[in-house]
Amino acid sequence: MEEGVAKKLFGTDGVRGYANEYPMTPEIALALGRAAGRVFCNKRHGDHRVVIGKDTRLSCYMFESALISGLCSMGVNTLMVGPLPTPGVAFITRAYRADAGIMISASHNQYMDNGIKFFSSEGFKLSDEMEHDIAKLVFKNDFADSLPDSDKIGKNSKVVDAYGRYIEFVKATLPRGFMLKDMKVVLDCANGATYTVAPLIFQELDAEVYVYSDKPDGLNINDKCGALHSGVVQKGVIEHRADVGIAFDGDGDRVIMVDENAQVVDGDTILAICANEMKNNNKLRNNTLVATVMSNFGLVKSMEALGIKLITSQVGDRYVIKEMLNHDSNLGGEQSGHVIFMDYNTTGDGLVSALQVLRIMMETGSKLSDLAAIVRKYPQVLVNVEVSSKPDIDSIPVLKAKIAEVEKALRGDGRVLVRYSGTERICRVMIEGKNQGEIEYMAEAIVEVVKKEIGG
């Protein structure tokens, strides 16, 4: 199978698609289980085991069963943890010294989508090379020479204490004895994987907790709730006169917060708050923060003012983590709310991120609105343009010249980003600057060039 074809199976965050349509079918899930079993079993001798978690989508049952069948057929024992946040699966994978972890989830998407993503034994998302090896085996779909004898088939078991272990892990990221007494907290669990663990964590820390979207039915995950729909938690903060609101996405690896005035505090601002506190306490490794090219220019200016080095990566938390490892940084994330504290976990963890912000609030006696003032967001314009092809931006002289012209006009107090979507024939034109009207005019000028040169 051609290398390019094999790569099409995996996107930027595992295999994802509409449930019961290619590639998210039981047949592909079965083949993925077998392929993963073969790849991971080749890494070392002895018994093998893989942790499998999921969010609350109806289709998770189908994919869970297919993956377990595929893995067990290759002689791999499987450990089910049930509905658990993605970072919880990464943690349990490390805790059980498993060969790999698998999370069944489509993150912030609605129930009709689903996905399958893999973690290494260290709890990191797989490299492109390992995903490619798995994809080639899936497309070949011939495992006859790898199947074990009948007495060597794997068995499936349930990790009965997964919730409790993850809850204790999350709480252990706080100082010993730290409590949230007298703090009013509103939670939006997105009817997803945090619906059980999140309320328990905040209740055990003695916060006054008001919980929304914690009754999943298999179809209501991320349905007008969660991190992408802040209205639920904003309304809750106002209604209960709460100190803070916290909204997770369907698999709990991202978080958006809301201050006491019901103003949204996104991932960029959470990163700035935590980077500043970590630097002040000599805990920001190499004085470096990693964010993506899509982070607001206000974060860039904030880090400049604080004397913190900012490294930018491609969009996607796996690329953030790659740069964090390359630059030995222990803090990174995305505007969307993926925040990675490498001192605690190997992937974005919405619960850990929220607790770190609450700890800073409590220790400094500050309201979230006061802390959030560290970043002054720049107005932003984002236009998606359908294109007929995706040539390198620098290979289009007229477009390259127009971008340079706009960058010069911004005089260093704003930025231009022109990039292609990773999954669609779309060119994204984003401009940030001080004046909304000015950047709208600039964006339209670039959009016209894109349409003329490569428009669909």
Token code pair at residue 89: 């699966």
**Angstrom distance (rounded) from CA 145 to CA 152:** 14
**Angstrom distance (rounded) from CA 230 to CA 254:** 13
Helical (H) or strand (E) element with 433: strand 426-433
Helical (H) or strand (E) element with 352: helix 350-364
CB 52 within 8 A of CB 84: no
CB 347 within 8 A of CB 86: yes
Is 150 an annotated catalytic residue? no
In terms of Cβ atoms closer than 10 Å to its own Cβ (0-12, 13-18, 19+), residue 437 is exposed
CB 207 within 8 A of CB 180: yes
Select from 24, 21, 39, 70 the least CA-distant residue to 136.
39
**Position of tokens 């940084």?**
329
**Angstrom distance (rounded) from CA 203 to CA 288:** 34
Token code pair at residue 429: 């034109």
Query: Which phi-psi region, left, alpha or beta, contains residue 191 (left: φ > 0; alpha: ψ -120 to 50)?
Result: left
Token code pair at residue 249: 């996405």
CA distances from 199 to 11, 162, 205, 325, 338 (A): 32, 16, 10, 32, 20
Select from 107, 90, 163, 68 the least CA-distant residue to 345.
90
**Angstrom distance (rounded) from CA 22 to CA 15:** 10
Q: Which of 73, 107, 213, 329 is catalytic?
A: 107
Active site residue ranges:
107
